[in-house]
C-alpha cells in the first residue's frame, strides 16, 4: 500500500487554481504545533487543526481523507532522514543505524509528537499498514541488508537468522524509545547493544581465525 496518493489531486492536466503549498505547510505545522504544545491526541480534532492553521475544514479534507491520513504525513515530515552508512564494517554500520534509532527517541519533535501519533496510527490497522510499509519496513530492510552483507564478508555466521538478529539489535532500543517513552537512552547505548549481541551471535571458537 502506498501513501503517495495522499495529498494528490485525482489526475489529468492541472486545471483550475492549483493547490497552495503554503496552505499545505500551514496545516502540517499546525498539527505539529498543537502536538508539541501538549494537546492530547484525543482532543486533536480536524476542526481544531483548521482553526489553528487558519484554514477551512474542506481544505484539509481536500488533501487528506481523515485524521489518520493527515497524521501519517505529519509523522513522515518529522522523520529524520536515513543515516549514511560508513561501510567500513558491519559492526560500524550497525552502530550508526542503532545510534540513529536512539536519537529519534530523544529528538524533541520525534518524541512527544511521534509517540502520540504512533499510538493513534497503531490503533487503525489500515493506517498502520500504510505506515509500516512506508516508514518501518524500509528501515528494517536497511538493517537486514547490512547483516546480509556481513554474512558475505564473514563478519556474521551464515547460519544466523537475520530476521531474529535484526530484532535482537533493534528490539532493546525500541522497547525503550517506543514502549517506555522517557526511558534512559545513554550515549554509548548503541555500541553496547551491538557489541553484546554480536558477541552472542559470533561464538568464540568460530571466529578464532
Partner DNA sequence: GCCTAACCGAGACGGTACGTCACGTCTTTTA
Partner DNA sequence: TAAAAGACGTGACGTACCGTCTCGGTTAGGC
Which residues lie near a copy of itself (CB under 8 A)? 40-42, 115-116, 119-120, 122-125, 132, 136, 163-164, 167-168, 170-176, 178-180, 184, 189, 192-193, 195-201, 203-207
How is residue 151 written as a grid cell?
Answer: 554474512
Is residue 95 exposed (0-12), middle (13-18) or buried (19+ Cβ within 10 Å)? buried
Closest CA to 112 of 74, 139, 86: 74
Q: What is the DSSP secondary structure assignment for residue 80, as one 8-state letter? A: P
> Which residue from 37, 43, 84, 159 is in contact with DNA, where contact means CB under 7 A?
43
- Residue 25 or 137 having the CB closest to a copy of itself: 137
Closest CA to 176 of 104, 81, 76: 104
Q: Which does 11 bind (CB under 5 to 8 A by kind): DNA, a copy of itself, none?
A: none
- By CB under 7 A, the count of residues binding DNA is 30
**Residue the block writes with cell 568464540:** 204
- Residue 3 or 112 having the CB closest to a copy of itself: 112
CA angle 2, 136, 31 (to 5 degrees): 75
Q: Which does 124 bind (CB under 5 to 8 A by kind): a copy of itself, DNA, none?
A: a copy of itself
- Residue 26 or 112 having the CB closest to DNA: 26
Neighbour tally for 123: CB within 10 Å: 11
Give the CA dihedral 20, 7, 111, 84, nearest 10 degrees: -100
Binding to DNA in span 12-31, by CB under 7 A: 12-20, 23-24, 26
Q: Which does 80 bind (CB under 5 to 8 A by kind): DNA, a copy of itself, none?
A: none
- Which residues sit at the interface with DNA, rule CB under 7 A? 9, 12-20, 23-24, 26, 43, 45-48, 50, 54-59, 61-63, 66-67
Amino acid at each position: 500500500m502506498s501513501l503517495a496518493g495522499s495529498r494528490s489531486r485525482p489526475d489529468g492536466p492541472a486545471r483550475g487554481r492549483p493547490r497552495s503549498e503554503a496552505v499545505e505547510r500551514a496545516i502540517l505545522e499546525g498539527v505539529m504545533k498543537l502536538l508539541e504544545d501538549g494537546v492530547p491526541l484525543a482532543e486533536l480534532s480536524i476542526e481544531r487543526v483548521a482553526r489553528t492553521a487558519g484554514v477551512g475544514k474542506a481544505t484539509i479534507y481536500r488533501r487528506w481523507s481523515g485524521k489518520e491520513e493527515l497524521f501519517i504525513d505529519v509523522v513522515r515530515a518529522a522523520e529524520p532522514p536515513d543515516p549514511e552508512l560508513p561501510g567500513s564494517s558491519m559492526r560500524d554500520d550497525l552502530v550508526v543505524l542503532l545510534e540513529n534509532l536512539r536519537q529519534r527517541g530523544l529528538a524533541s519533535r520525534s518524541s512527544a509528537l511521534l509517540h502520540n501519533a504512533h499510538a493513534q496510527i497503531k490503533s487503525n490497522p489500515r493506517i498502520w499498514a500504510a505506515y509500516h510499509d512506508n516508514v518501518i519496513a524500509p528501515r528494517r530492510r536497511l538493517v537486514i541488508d547490512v547483516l546480509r552483507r556481513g554474512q558475505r564478508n564473514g563478519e556474521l555466521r551464515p547460519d544466523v537468522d537475520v530476521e531474529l538478529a535484526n530484532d535482537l539489535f533493534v528490539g532493546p532500543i525500541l522497547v525503550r524509545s517506543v514502549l517506555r517513552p522517557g526511558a534512559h537512552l545513554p550515549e554509548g547505548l548503541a555500541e553496547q547493544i551491538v557489541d553484546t549481541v554480536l558477541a552472542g551471535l559470533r561464538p568464540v571458537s568460530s571466529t578464532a581465525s
